[in-house]
């Protein structure tokens, strides 16, 4: 590893020509993506770790008494190079991953794990942190300073700083193996999503699909050496239309089974064993840290606090949701009979006949609605809402700006006082190198440097429906909701304003509040009138169609709620285990538990364990429930606007910005929510919204 021996100084940077090693000399300090090679990333990460290690050594060797400045602030500010390199590498590795990048991720994963442990299991460093922490009453700190002191102290304790040497050594091994397995899981899933194909040999099998979907499938077949056929992969824009619209029951079955069996095909990308091993290692870690199970440990620093509180919320909604799903199944059976058939519906019939039932009940035609949901128009609607609420504006940057992907667009986000608040990238379309799903991330989070606010660079990355042959990307209602959702995360990132990085994070089950809250505006009549324009004629969506969207919005919530709660329960069930059953098969375990709770056989968890990246890839482990936890808050928060009769009520929006979006994590989520609302959240808005 020659990179480690390079001198850490500016000259080496210049000679070396690695753009990651110095501040980016580009507009807005955006990474010069096209100039960064894989070796640059490797060198940057290795040197970043070295640099931070040296900073930590200097802190420990400091002969002065530990103070807030020389210990807590110094820690908060350390690792600048590493943050810059990882801040660039990490988003790219999700949305523009190459084989080289995946190999580098694998190479780095154990090193990062060890690096992290070198910091948080360092006894001399912890002794200094503890000295400051024990003296905190005498320090006269601001609220934010107090919070980062607590956060940093907690992070040491939660990382095992108080364990014996033997336990620390075991913990290091566990951390390393867990991070490796999570990465392997994610890489398997990416491969399976893009490379599991269902092929149709005859156009007769495609009846019911739109011409755009048929064209896309033909293109995919051609690209994969099967010209003249039609292929679907397991990205939602490719496989969902089959489940929803395709008349051919056999093709629907093939797609359905392939989709839910990603990671469970007995091939080299099968993740069943990885899942079982992960669950066992996480439990061992939790026990080492003094907890009964992993969920207890994960929940300690979240709003929900205990597994019991999570089950309580989920089970409150489970009963009404299953009842609703059974009503929907009756509608589905009626639709099947209408067509002169008499079979019992299966999982692959659900979306298809539910869509028919919806059309019959509300006379809605999703495909007709899609014509009013062209992606650029939707974008304008999203910007309009943000402008009406917060007074911020958006200017597309078209000139010389580093682009990591030609179809991504960049915007300057301008605050109401004219200052630049953030840079926003929208990267909406699928490609092979992009992982499935939708997410918000940043190349650079907001921070302060020498008293100056460094603006965040935020990305929304999604897998929306691609443009049709005429160049128009027409979206489904679900996709539009997703765009509003991810933009809600982006707003949180734009507006955060904290002095210290260690104060920027919020509780896992608070994260979805800003995003889900933003969804509430998507289909309000005042908003649809602005953006829902016919892609060809520019005509505004007719009142009648708009009403239908509103009326039908709650239809299908039985299915949506059951599949979501089922996944949340499976995530919890595996992580409240206090002992791992011999030869644990996660798929069987999940199915048994859900059957005990009376899940209708036609509904599977939204993600089955081998394709459940939230929990097995890390990030939302024992945390998938967070969406519903936050939904209690977002539904109640939107009510605050509704109650005034003005969904753009400026005063309420300002309160939301001030108490929820701006403070980062300087307070507990529930305290911030109460500051905004003036009271505790109530669950009735959630049930009402879901029509349960």
Active site residues: 486
Q: How far is the CB of 165 from Zn ion (least distance, A)?
A: 40
Tokens of 185: 């899981």
* Other Cβ atoms closer than 10 A to 367: 14
Dist CA 651 CA 130 (whole Å): 42
* Other Cβ atoms closer than 10 A to 311: 19
Residue number, nearest CB to Zn ion: 515
Dist CA 459 CA 402 (whole Å): 14
Angle among Cα 380, 381, 385 to the nearest 5 degrees reads 115
Nearest residue to 402 (alpha-carbon basis) of 431, 423, 379:
423
Tokens of 399: 């000139």
Dist CA 511 CA 620 (whole Å): 11
- Per DSSP, 624 falls in state T
Q: In Å, what is the CA distance from 247 to each residue of 203, 210, 229, 253?
A: 12, 12, 18, 11
With CB under 5 A as the contact rule, which of the stretches 89-97, 150-158, 511-519, 577-585 interacts with Zn ion?
Answer: 511-519
Q: How far is the CB of 630 from Zn ion (least distance, A)?
A: 9
- Binding characters for Zn ion, 515-544, by CB under 5 A (x = yes): x-----------------------------
- Per DSSP, 658 falls in state I
* Other Cβ atoms closer than 10 A to 557: 18
With CB under 5 A as the contact rule, which of the stretches 221-229, 514-522, 534-542, 677-685 interacts with Zn ion?
Answer: 514-522
Is the Cβ of residue 52 or residue 426 nearer to Zn ion in the bound state? 426
Is the Cβ of residue 126 or residue 484 nearer to Zn ion in the bound state? 484
Is the Cβ of residue 390 or residue 484 nearer to Zn ion in the bound state? 484
Q: How far is the CB of 564 from Zn ion (least distance, A)?
A: 13
With CB under 5 A as the contact rule, which of the stretches 76-84, 197-205, 265-273, 509-517 interacts with Zn ion?
Answer: 509-517
Could you tell me which residues are beta bridge partners of residue 448? 453
Helix/strand number for the chain, H first, E second: 28, 9
Is the Cβ of residue 113 or residue 515 nearer to Zn ion in the bound state? 515
Write the CB contacts of 138 (distance below 8 Å, at least 6 apart in sequence). Answer: none
Dist CA 159 CA 155 (whole Å): 6
* Residue in the block written with tokens 């390079």: 6
- Binding characters for Zn ion, 469-508, by CB under 5 A (x = yes): ----------------------------------------
Q: How far is the CB of 515 from Zn ion (least distance, A)?
A: 4
Is the Cβ of residue 374 or residue 512 nearer to Zn ion in the bound state? 512
Size of the site for Zn ion (CB under 5 A): 2
Is the Cβ of residue 95 or residue 515 nearer to Zn ion in the bound state? 515
Could you tell me which residues are beta bridge partners of residue 200? 230
**b/e sequence 66-75, b meaning 16+ C-beta within 10 Å:** bbbebbbbbb
Q: How far is the CB of 628 from Zn ion (least distance, A)?
A: 12
Is the Cβ of residue 233 or residue 515 nearer to Zn ion in the bound state? 515
| Interstrand relation of 420-427 and 409-414 (parallel, antiparallel or unpaired) | antiparallel
**71 belongs to the binding site for Zn ion (CB under 5 A):** no
Dist CA 569 CA 531 (whole Å): 37
Q: How far is the CB of 573 from Zn ion (least distance, A)?
A: 23
Q: How far is the CB of 426 from Zn ion (least distance, A)?
A: 16
For residue 335, how many C-alpha atoms fall within 13 Å in the half-sphere facing its CB? 20
Q: How far is the CB of 485 from Zn ion (least distance, A)?
A: 6
Is the Cβ of residue 507 or residue 512 nearer to Zn ion in the bound state? 512
Dist CA 271 CA 191 (whole Å): 12
Dist CA 691 CA 362 (whole Å): 16
Question: Where does this chain bind Zn ion (CB under 5 A)?
Answer: 512, 515
């Amino acid at each position: 590893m020659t990179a480690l021996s390079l001198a850490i100084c500016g000259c080496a940077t210049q000679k070396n020509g690695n753009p990651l090693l110095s501040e980016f000399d580009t507009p807005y300090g955006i990474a010069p993506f096209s100039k960064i090679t894989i070796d640059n990333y490797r060198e940057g990460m290795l040197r970043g770790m070295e640099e931070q290690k040296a900073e930590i050594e200097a802190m420990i060797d400091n002969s002065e008494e530990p103070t807030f400045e020389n210990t807590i602030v110094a820690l908060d500010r350390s690792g600048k190079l590493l943050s810059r390199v990882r801040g660039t590498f990490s988003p790219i590795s999700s949305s523009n991953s190459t084989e080289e990048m995946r190999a580098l991720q694998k190479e780095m994963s154990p090193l990062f794990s060890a690096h992290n442990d070198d910091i948080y299991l360092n006894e001399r460093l912890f002794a200094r942190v503890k000295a400051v922490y024990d003296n905190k009453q005498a320090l006269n700190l601001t609220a934010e300073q107090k919070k980062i002191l607590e956060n940093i102290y907690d992070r040491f304790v939660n990382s095992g700083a108080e364990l014996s040497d033997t336990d620390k050594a075991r913990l290091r091994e566990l951390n390393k193996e867990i991070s490796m397995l999570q990465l392997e899981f994610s890489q398997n899933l990416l491969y399976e999503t893009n490379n599991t194909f269902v092929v149709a040999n005859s156009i007769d099998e495609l009846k019911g699909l739109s011409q755009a979907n048929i064209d896309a499938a033909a293109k995919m077949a051609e690209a994969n050496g099967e010209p003249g056929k039609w292929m679907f992969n397991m990205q939602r824009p490719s496989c969902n239309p089959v489940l929803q619209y395709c008349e051919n029951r056999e093709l629907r079955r093939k797609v359905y089974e392939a989709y839910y069996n990603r990671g469970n095909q007995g091939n080299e990308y099968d993740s069943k064993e990885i899942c079982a091993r992960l669950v066992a290692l996480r439990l061992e870690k939790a026990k080492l840290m003094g907890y009964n199970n992993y969920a207890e440990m994960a929940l300690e620093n979240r709003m929900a606090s205990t597994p019991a509180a999570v089950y309580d919320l989920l089970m409150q909604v489970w009963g009404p949701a299953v009842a609703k799903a059974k009503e929907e199944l009756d509608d589905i059976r009626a639709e099947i009979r209408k067509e002169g058939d008499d079979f019992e519906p299966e999982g692959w019939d659900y979306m298809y006949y539910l869509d028919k039932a919806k059309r019959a009940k509300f006379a809605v035609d999703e495909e007709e609605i899609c014509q009013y949901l062209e992606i650029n128009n939707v974008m304008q609607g999203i910007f309009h809402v943000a402008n009406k609420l917060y007074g911020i504006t958006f200017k597309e940057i078209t000139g010389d700006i580093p682009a990591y992907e030609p179809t991504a667009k960049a915007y300057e986000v301008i605050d109401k006082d004219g200052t630049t608040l953030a840079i926003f990238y929208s990267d909406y379309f699928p490609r092979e190198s992009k992982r499935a799903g939708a997410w918000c991330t940043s190349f650079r989070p907001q921070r302060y440097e020498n008293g100056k606010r460094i603006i965040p660079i935020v990305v929304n990355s999604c897998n929306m429906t691609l443009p049709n042959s005429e160049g128009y990307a027409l979206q489904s209602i679900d996709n539009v909701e997703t765009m509003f959702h991810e933009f809600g995360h982006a707003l949180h990132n734009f507006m955060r304003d904290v002095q210290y990085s260690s104060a920027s994070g919020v509780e896992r089950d608070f994260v979805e509040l800003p995003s889900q809250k933003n969804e509430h505006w998507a289909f309000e009549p005042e908003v649809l009138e602005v953006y829902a324009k016919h892609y060809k004629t520019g005509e505004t969506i007719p009142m009648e169609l708009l009403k239908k969207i509103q009326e039908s919005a709650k239809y299908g919530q039985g299915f949506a709620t059951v599949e979501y709660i089922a996944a949340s329960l499976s995530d919890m069930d595996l992580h409240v285990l206090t002992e791992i059953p011999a030869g644990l098969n996660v798929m069987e375990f999940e199915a048994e538990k859900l059957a005990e709770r009376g899940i209708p056989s036609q509904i599977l968890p939204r993600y089955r364990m081998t394709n459940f990246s939230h929990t097995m890839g890390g990030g939302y482990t024992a945390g998938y429930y967070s969406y519903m936890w936050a939904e209690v808050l977002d539904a109640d928060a939107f009510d605050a606007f509704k109650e005034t009769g003005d969904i753009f009520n400026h005063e309420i929006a300002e309160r939301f910005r001030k108490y929820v979006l701006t403070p980062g994590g300087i307070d507990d989520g529930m305290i911030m929510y109460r500051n905004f609302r003036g009271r505790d959240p109530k669950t009735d808005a959630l049930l009402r919204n879901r029509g349960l």
